[in-house]
Structure 1
């Protein structure tokens, strides 16, 4: 009997230690995602300014605005607060993963457009290339979050660019890049809030 109790105590101790270790790992991953998103946010406004300054008129004008325009196919970051707050961990992760998978495709398109439209703007092209790298890293972190939270991995997205007009004018292509940047910045804000909330809930559950 004593021997059995000792074994049970040892097993319980190992299980508790394993759970605590997993919780620490999850919290660290969520914090890493928040930090990565914050770093991307800090660089994105400067990159958007650089992008607009290299597009010519009217994009580089001080009064340029296209607030009423939307780009079909882009995931929209705007969501009612109550709906956002009631999302499950899986829904929150899935929407973020799918959104950035779409943005990854669109920013590759923006980079290809700029290589054609502004081939001499090496600084801009380099910054766009870095942005694509940042997105790939973020998607890798989000994939790890599914595993850490023991959620099923998402299915690959369908090609979000399949319906795009391949005959777009240079103006339309430059405007498209701006609209992609604008919605991307809103998603970064939403993601930071979402993963801050996930981190709080994860700590409270310990």
Structure 2
């Protein structure tokens, strides 16, 4: 997983040199990010249904009392959200999505290590790759607004996520990760839609 994270850091560093410039270019970039975010959201929603069927044994399973403290929260005061600066809004998403990406990638690696091939591997891998692309887009947008590339967050996943003690706990972790990612992506789409309209030609 560390090799994959290193690849992500290298990817966003390279893409920083190709950051969009000017209101028109930013509008196009934000439009692309809205489209990609909606795709990821749909893919995550589809995965959750399949995941609950395969891992939990109940496609209707819901439990919002289950939490992972290592995951970012999608909750934000609306007044604060309106007052955020553009760069601040993008940087928050940039940092938080990298944390989500690390969790998703960890679950993908876990699925690869299962003795029986999982029907979930391809879906999780696709979401991981799309998240990496979205993070790269955010890197370019932040660079365009601030003229500097943001530093990757200094994040270490807790041991109970990297090496869950029980298989059932690992399954519940996956549910929580994808459930919270789905919630967070709705906020991301709202942010990109706001910025796309703001930088319209």
Give the whole-Å Cα distance in 2 for the aligned partners of 1:157 and 1:119: 34
Out of 174, 178, 181, which is 1:181 matched to? 178
Q: For 1:62-101, list aligned pairs within 5 A.
A: 62-101=59-98
Tell me the C-alpha RMSD between the 2 structures: 1.8
State the partner residue of 1:126.
122
Normalising by structure 2, what TM-score? Answer: 0.82
Query: Structure 1 residue 99: deviation in Å?
Result: 0.7
Cα 1:109–1:139 change in 2 (3 A) is same
Q: Is the 8 A contact 2:95 2:153 kept in 1?
A: yes
Gaps of 5+ in 1: 1-20
Cα 1:81–1:52 change in 2 (3 A) is same
**After TM superposition, what 4+ stretches of structure 1 lie above 6 angstroms from structure 2?**
none
Gaps of 5+ in 2: 1-20
Q: Is the 8 A contact 1:37 1:191 kept in 2?
A: yes
Cα 1:155–1:183 change in 2 (3 A) is same
How many residues are treated as equivalent by the alignment?
A: 180
Q: Is the 8 A contact 1:111 1:128 kept in 2?
A: yes
3-state SS, counterpart of residue 71 of structure 2? coil
3-state SS, counterpart of residue 92 of structure 2? helix
Point out the more displaced range, 158-167 or 187-196: 158-167
Matching of residue 199 in structure 1 with residue 193 in structure 2? no
Normalising by structure 1, what TM-score? Answer: 0.80
